[in-house]
């Protein structure tokens, strides 16, 4: 049994010329926009406040820089691979060409966490903003239709249950989950359905919708920075790095590093650009521009927004679901009009993230089916729309089910650990292919690869180490399910098992 058989780069390029063809319609600006569409979302609109209030204070701006640099290291690895192997599939494809089929499957299974479950995660966040917006107009949606039937059980809640004599179920005892009494998160389900229909129609249409949304949310953030800059109270930045409380990750430099791991979620999505390589007009040149350009722009925006946010209002007040809205409120009643715009911008931002993460997942399933690791129908392309329509339908239904049931906290942790694992494997794969196939044409080369790539992998692995134990347990369960599917179907149906 050869679990580590590889598919050569030449074989991937040969496959580009035969089989189902995706429409090549994306230029460099469209790819940068796709990257920004996937990156700017829940991270800046939701997680920034929590990271500032709990770990870093105003120095959360430094955390964004640290996390952005770590992502840039992985981004360079992605850019090299995407230019060299410009096909759909992202990290799955790169692992297949270097580490072998088993690791390709393993990383693809974890990319489901990054893309499909990330899409569901952001849809849950989208639901929260929409419910809040409705309240602003006096419309109150019932909680049993707008929240998750399953939620995380905190250690304090678990202790209270035990003290009351309650007998914990397996779900509560080992996975820290419990039933809430809600039926479904309906808004989250509906937004995924809407996004799925857009993806089904075509890549040009999806890119057009994404471009509009990116303009809206970028404008909102820039407007907040410009108007908020004049309202900064510099005493809120004193001290800029709050002294450590004595606990390992509460403020001080350890807090900054912990916050970097938290705000890492804000960068998830830049690699979605590489999943669209097969739909780029000139992938060897345009995909690296899309990846690195979107990372650079988003980092500048993140740092500016976090500085203004912590300057306008004290960081201790930002541990809320909508920290930018809190900052706008602190700017004074004359800026009440900006509150509605911020909420609309947040909803628009979250919508584009859902769009891009689900697009990435459909392209990975398309690539896997092309290699025989998934049933062939996942690679079928619609005769009119030129999109992998069955893959899109399956991914949409899967994300709808996940968003309907699970809470944002649980999903967010799974997304982070799956993404960090994917990033670290891609960094390692770059070095391996440099050694094994130094002869391959590389239109874009990662500078100082033998130093930068291991550094990128190490940075991702260190962030994984600080994630909670129960997240690792859920990852282990997820991995066991994936390996079972691989041996039951993928290994036996792989096209490498059936050489022509």
> Distance of CA 139 to CAs 96, 130, 132, 184, 209, Å?
51, 11, 9, 19, 28
Q: What is the pLDDT of residue 394?
A: 92
pLDDT tens readout for residues 470-480: 778 888 888 89
Over residues 400-421, mean pLDDT: 79
Q: Which domain range does residue 229 map to?
A: 26-149+184-495
Residue 102 lies in a domain: yes
Q: What is the pLDDT of residue 124?
A: 83
> Distance of CA 275 to CAs 1, 86, 108, Å?
30, 9, 12
Residue 87 lies in a domain: yes
Cα separation, 103 vs 194, in Å, equals 34
Q: What is the pLDDT of residue 88?
A: 63
Paired tokens of 255: 């807090």
Three-state secondary structure call for residue 89: coil
Highest mean pLDDT among 81-85, 382-386, 400-404 belongs to 400-404
Cα separation, 98 vs 96, in Å, equals 6
* Burial status of residue 136 (CB atoms within 10 A of its CB: 0-12, 13-18, 19 or more): exposed
Q: What is the pLDDT of residue 18?
A: 65
How many domains is the chain built from? 1
Q: How confident is the model at residue 62 (pLDDT cuts 50, 70, 90)?
A: very high
Q: CA 373 from chain center: how many Å?
A: 24
pLDDT tens readout for residues 382-395: 888 778 889 999 99
State yes or no: pLDDT of 220 exceeds 90. no
Which residue pairs, CB below 8 angstroms and at least 24 apart, start in 448-457? 449/80, 452/73, 452/76, 453/73, 453/76, 453/77, 453/427, 453/428, 454/427, 454/428, 455/73, 456/70, 456/73, 456/74, 456/76, 456/77, 456/423, 456/424, 456/427, 457/423, 457/424, 457/425, 457/427, 457/428
Q: What is the pLDDT of residue 399?
A: 92
Q: How confident is the model at residue 1 (pLDDT cuts 50, 70, 90)?
A: low
Residue 15 lies in a domain: no
Q: Over the chain, what is the mean pLDDT?
A: 82
Residue 408 lies in a domain: yes
Residues in Cβ contact with 372 at an 8 Å cutoff, skipping those fewer than 6 apart: 490, 493, 494, 495, 496, 497, 498
Tell me, what CATH number does 490's domain have? 1.20.1740.10
Cβ contact 268:6 at 8 Å: no
Q: How confident is the model at residue 100 (pLDDT cuts 50, 70, 90)?
A: confident
Residue 11 lies in a domain: no
Q: What is the pLDDT of residue 186?
A: 92
Q: Which residue has the higher pLDDT, 408 or 340?
A: 340
Cβ contact 172:161 at 8 Å: yes
Triad 105, 106, 108: Cα angle to 5° = 60
Q: How confident is the model at residue 454 (pLDDT cuts 50, 70, 90)?
A: very high
Residue 161 lies in a domain: no
State yes or no: pLDDT of 42 exceeds 70. no
Of all residues in the chain, what percent carry a pLDDT higher than 90?
12
Q: What is the pLDDT of residue 409?
A: 64
Q: What values do phi and psi take at 175, rounded to 5?
A: -110, 0
Cα separation, 283 vs 288, in Å, equals 8
Q: What is the pLDDT of residue 89?
A: 64
Cβ contact 269:78 at 8 Å: no
Cα separation, 115 vs 301, in Å, equals 23
Q: How confident is the model at residue 189 (pLDDT cuts 50, 70, 90)?
A: very high
Residue 168 lies in a domain: no
Q: How confident is the model at residue 61 (pLDDT cuts 50, 70, 90)?
A: very high
pLDDT tens readout for residues 224-272: 899 988 888 889 998 888 888 777 667 888 888 878 877 877 777 777 7
State yes or no: pLDDT of 497 exceeds 80. no
Cα separation, 50 vs 56, in Å, equals 9
* Burial status of residue 15 (CB atoms within 10 A of its CB: 0-12, 13-18, 19 or more): middle
Residue 169 lies in a domain: no
Q: What is the pLDDT of residue 499?
A: 56
Of all residues in the chain, what percent carry a pLDDT higher than 70?
91
């Amino acid at each position: 049994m050869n679990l580590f058989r590889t598919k050569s780069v030449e074989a991937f390029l040969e496959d580009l010329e035969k089989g189902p063809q995706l429409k090549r319609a994306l230029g460099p600006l469209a790819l940068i926009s796709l990257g920004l569409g996937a990156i700017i979302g829940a991270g800046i609109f939701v997680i920034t406040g929590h990271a500032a209030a709990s770990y870093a204070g105003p120095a959360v701006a430094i955390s964004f820089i640290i996390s952005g640099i770590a992502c840039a290291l992985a981004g360079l690895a992605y850019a090299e691979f995407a230019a060299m192997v410009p096909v759909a599939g992202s990290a799955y494809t790169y692992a297949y060409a270097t580490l072998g089929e088993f690791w390709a499957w393993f990383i693809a299974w974890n990319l489901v966490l990054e893309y499909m479950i990330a899409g569901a995660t952001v849809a849950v966040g989208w639901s929260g903003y929409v419910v809040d917006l409705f309240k602003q107009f006096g419309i109150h949606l019932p909680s049993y239709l707008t929240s998750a039937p399953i939620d995380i059980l905190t250690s304090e809640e678990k202790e209270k249950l035990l003290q009351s004599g309650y007998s914990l179920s397996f779900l509560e005892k080992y996975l820290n989950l419990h039933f809430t009494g809600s039926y479904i998160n309906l808004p989250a389900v509906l937004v995924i359905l809407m996004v799925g229909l857009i993806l089904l129609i075509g890549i040009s249409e999806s890119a057009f919708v994404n471009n509009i949304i990116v303009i809206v949310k970028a404008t909102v953030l820039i407007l907040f920075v410009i108007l908020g800059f004049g309202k900064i109270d510099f005493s809120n930045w004193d001290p800029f790095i709050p002294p450590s409380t004595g606990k390992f990750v509460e403020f001080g430099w350890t807090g900054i590093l912990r916050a970097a791991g938290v705000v890492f979620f804000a960068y998830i999505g830049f690699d979605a650009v590489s999943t669209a390589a097969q739909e780029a007009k000139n992938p060897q040149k345009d995909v690296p521009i899309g990846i690195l350009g979107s990372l650079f722009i988003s980092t500048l925006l993140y740092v500016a927004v976090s500085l203004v946010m912590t300057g306008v209002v004290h960081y201790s007040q930002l541990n809320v679901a909508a920290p930018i809205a809190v900052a706008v409120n602190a700017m004074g009643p004359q800026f009440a009009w900006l509150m509605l715009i911020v909420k609309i911008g947040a909803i628009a931002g979250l919508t584009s993230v859902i769009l891009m993460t689900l697009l990435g997942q459909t392209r990975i399933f398309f690539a896997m089916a092309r290699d025989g690791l998934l049933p062939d129908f996942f690679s079928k392309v619609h005769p009119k729309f030129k999109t992998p329509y069955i893959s899109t339908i399956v991914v949409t239904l899967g994300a709808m089910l996940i968003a309907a049931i699970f809470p944002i906290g649980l999903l967010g942790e799974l997304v982070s650990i799956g993404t960090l694992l994917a990033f670290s494997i891609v960094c390692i794969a770059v070095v391996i292919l440099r050694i094994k196939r130094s002869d391959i044409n590389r239109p874009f080369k990662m500078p100082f690869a033998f130093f930068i790539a291991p550094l990128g992998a190490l940075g991702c692995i260190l962030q994984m180490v600080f994630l909670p134990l129960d997240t690792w347990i859920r990852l282990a369960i997820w991995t066991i399910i994936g390996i079972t599917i691989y041996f039951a179907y993928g290994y036996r149906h792989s096209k490498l098992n059936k050489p022509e």
